[in-house]
Amino acid sequence: MKIRKWTTVGSDPVYRTPIFDLHRRRSNHPVRGERDFFILEAPAWVNIIPVTPKREVVLVRQFRHGVSAFTLEIPGGMIDPGDENPLVAARREMVEESGYDSGDVVELGRVHPNPAIQPNFCYTFLARNVRKVRRASHSDTEETQVTLVPLSKVKELIATGRITHALVIAAFSFLHVYNPPRR
């Protein structure tokens, strides 16, 4: 059986928030007819793996309201309207959340965070030879605690459930493909 593409007939906003909008998308299928789907429209996101000259990853620990717990992550966030491109946004997030920076930043790849309900991308970057340039800055809703971890320990942090953020795990998957760790 050949699968067929759905076509969008219309889309209406249902609810708006500062970080995403919920839309009701009416779509048509050649066999199944018209149906409503709910889509979370959000800006593109970035995350960045900062690695020091000593091959330590700069991780941030922060409270996440979705899981009501602290998580261990790499710096990341939304691409703001003032950001020229994803790379600029990734560096901004890295400096804000960790206080580290580097002029040696490369894109590793991009993923759809959840293509069933979200059309946005999350871009992943690697920052090599990062150095502390200032203290991490905290906003009214976000504060971070910086932790340096040997790159060789990241797989263990994922395997033992210390790192559970799916986009962070995807980022390290990109890193493994792009630049496998030394043995």
Q: For residue 80, give every residue at least 6 positions away whose Cβ sits within 8 Å of its Cβ, in sequence order, or none.
A: 43, 89, 92
Give the number of residues written for the chain.
183
**pLDDT per residue over 46-84, tens digit each?**
999 999 999 999 999 999 999 999 999 999 999 999 999
At 85, phi and psi to the nearest 5? -165, 175
Residue 176 is encoded by which pair of tokens? 């493994």
pLDDT value at position 179? 64
Amino acid 182: pLDDT: 46
pLDDT at 176: 87
Residue 114 has pLDDT above 80, yes or no: yes
Q: What integer pLDDT is reported at residue 63 of this predicted model? A: 95
pLDDT at res. 138: 80
Give the pLDDT score at 180. Answer: 46
Report domain extents, the chain. Answer: 7-41, 45-178
Which has the closest alpha carbon to 45: 100, 95, 119, 102?
119
Question: Across the chain, what does the average pLDDT equal?
Answer: 94
Tell me phi and psi for residue 59, to 5 degrees: -105, 155
Q: pLDDT per residue over 141-183, tens digit each?
A: 788 899 999 999 999 999 999 999 999 999 999 998 876 444 3
Instruction: Inform me whether the pLDDT recorded for 85 exceeds 70.
Output: yes
Backbone phi, psi, residue 134, to 5°: -170, 180
Assess whether pLDDT exceeds 80 at residue 29: yes
CATH fit for domain 45-178, picks 3.90.79.10, 3.30.2090.10, 3.60.110.10, 3.40.30.10: 3.90.79.10
d(CA 127, CA 43) in angstroms, rounded, equals 22
Residue 102: pLDDT band with limits 50, 70, 90 = very high
pLDDT at 183: 37
Confidence category of residue 99, pLDDT binned at 50, 70, 90: very high
Of all residues in the chain, the percent with pLDDT exceeding 90 is 89
Kindly calculate the radius of gyration of the chain based on its CA atoms and give it in whole angstroms.
Answer: 19
